[in-house]
């Protein structure tokens, strides 16, 4: 038996149904299978009348819907797989970061050793007071420049030359190494004869 | 004259598109049913094989669904899917290594009914039989309609006239047009229902 709803579907597909009624019917169409079947069959009649060179298209919406659902399931499964594999990815990142950290530390130590430690000298004073009277250190260090670091065997003349060629700063404020032994000898010489020339540095 | 209290076909499309954008796949099914034949008619201008036409039509609607979030409604929904259909059909031919024929199809032309003989290509025997049976039932049901119902239906579905224009053409009130079109659809729909029922029973017997 024909119902009012069927007639409304007929009007809806022609754009001849009131707006409020159309919205209500559209909601029903999406949940009521019998109404949906009417919509499909009325359109099948329309398709048959409008059919051109193409075959009569039947049930395409179902196929499209199935394909979309299948694609959405695949996408969901992929997303789940990627979520499940995050601990592995995190572990990989941690290992990579650890390796990088170890590499950075080892490189830093190598470069620092090259600048501050000399095979000839065990430890160095780090303040100006220690420079004047190093307590236990073999050598005193004061703001050394990398170019002179570890070159304690340079004579004061050579140091003076290097310092002057690097800007001509005064010797007291200039970066250079003194071996403790050389300093001690220097102090002793100065105490003995203040006007005498400095002693030959160690290693010369 | 246009009745502003009614939901026009453009408004209907816009409402369904908005529902699909909210994630309603059922609304998309309604859109597919509205446009599947017209899309197939456009594809048939480029591709002759019936199987391929249906496959490409399916591909078109998958593309339409994916691209729908970008549809802003600057053109009509049909114009938009028409462009997608043409491009998909051309890409299909390129992928198959076939030459694209220089066919000029306008959206309006694709909507016009043609009485050209259908060019049957390769199709499965079952599909051909089922479609052939359906087409026979449909044409018989349409032929057996009373003249006034059939005329109203043809003016609406083939000539694309509004109810008001049909009322003028048939010299009757608009309510009569509404009733005639519905009665025509309902009568044909009953024939389709009977066919669907018998097909269902046949399937049950086979299984």
Rounded distance between C-alpha atoms, residue A107 and residue B76, angstroms: 66
Q: What integer is the mean pLDDT of A69-88?
A: 77
Residues of B whose CB is below 8 A from A7: 178-179, 182
DSSP class of residue A5 equals H
For helices B9-21 and A19-29, angle between their N-to-C axes, nearest 10 degrees: 40
The pTM score is 0.64
B199 touches chain A (CB under 8 A): no
Rounded distance between C-alpha atoms, residue B52 and residue B60, angstroms: 12
Rounded distance between C-alpha atoms, residue B40 and residue B55, angstroms: 10
Taking all residues of chain A, what is their mean pLDDT, rounded to a whole number?
74
CB B69 within 8 A of CB B20: no
pLDDT at A25: 96
Taking all residues of chain B, what is their mean pLDDT, rounded to a whole number?
86
Q: What percent of chain B has pLDDT over 70?
A: 83
Which of A15, A41, A50 lies closest to B37 in CB terms?
A: A50
Q: Between A and B, how many residue pairs show a Cβ–Cβ distance under 8 A?
A: 191
B153 touches chain A (CB under 8 A): yes
Angle, CA of B187, A36 and A51, to the nearest 5°: 60
Question: What ipTM, to 2 d.p.?
Answer: 0.85
Residues of chain B with pLDDT under 50: 110-122
Q: Can you spell out the DSSP letters for B108-163?
A: HHHHS---PPP---S--HHHHHHHHHHHHHHHHHHHTS-HHHHHHHHHHHTS---H
């Amino acid at each position: 038996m024909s119902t009012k709803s069927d007639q409304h579907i007929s009007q809806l597909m022609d754009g001849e149904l009131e707006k409020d009624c159309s919205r209500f019917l559209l909601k029903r169409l999406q949940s009521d299978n019998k109404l949906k079947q009417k919509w499909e069959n009325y359109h099948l009649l329309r398709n048959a009348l409008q059919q051109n060179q193409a075959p009569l298209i039947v049930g395409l919406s179902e196929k499209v819907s199935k394909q979309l659902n299948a694609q959405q399931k695949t996408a969901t499964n992929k997303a789940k797989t990627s979520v499940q594999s995050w601990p592995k990815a995190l572990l990989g990142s941690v290992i990579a970061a650890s390796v990088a950290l170890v590499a950075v530390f080892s490189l830093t130590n190598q470069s620092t050793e090259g600048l501050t430690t000399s095979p000839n000298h065990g430890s160095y004073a780090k303040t100006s007071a220690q420079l004047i009277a190093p307590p236990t250190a073999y050598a005193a260090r004061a703001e050394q420049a990398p170019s002179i670091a570890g070159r304690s065997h340079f004579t004061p003349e050579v140091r003076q030359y290097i310092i002057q060629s690097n800007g001509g700063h005064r010797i007291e404020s200039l970066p250079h190494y003194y071996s403790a032994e050389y300093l001690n000898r220097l102090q002793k010489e100065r105490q003995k004869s203040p006007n005498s020339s400095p002693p030959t540095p160690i290693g010369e | 004259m246009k009745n502003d209290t009614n939901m026009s076909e453009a408004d209907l499309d816009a409402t369904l598109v908005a529902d699909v954008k909210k994630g309603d796949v059922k609304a998309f099914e309604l859109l597919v049913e509205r446009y599947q034949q017209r899309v197939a008619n456009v594809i048939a201008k480029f591709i002759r094989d019936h199987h391929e036409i249906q496959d490409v039509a399916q591909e078109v609607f998958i593309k339409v669904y994916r691209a729908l979030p970008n549809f802003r409604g600057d053109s009509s929904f049909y114009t938009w899917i028409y462009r997608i259909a043409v491009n998909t059909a051309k890409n299909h031919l390129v992928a198959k290594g076939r030459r694209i024929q220089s066919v000029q199809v306008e959206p309006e032309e694709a909507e016009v009914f043609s009485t050209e003989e259908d060019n049957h290509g390769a199709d499965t025997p079952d599909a051909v039989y089922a479609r052939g049976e359906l087409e026979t039932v449909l044409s018989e049901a349409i032929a057996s309609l009373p003249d006034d119902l059939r005329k109203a239906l043809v003016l609406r579905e083939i000539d694309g006239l509004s109810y008001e224009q049909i009322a003028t053409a048939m010299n009757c009130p608009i309510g009569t047009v509404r009733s005639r079109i519905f009665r025509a659809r309902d009568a044909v729909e009953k024939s389709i229902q009977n066919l669907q029922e018998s097909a269902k029973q046949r399937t049950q017997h086979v299984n």
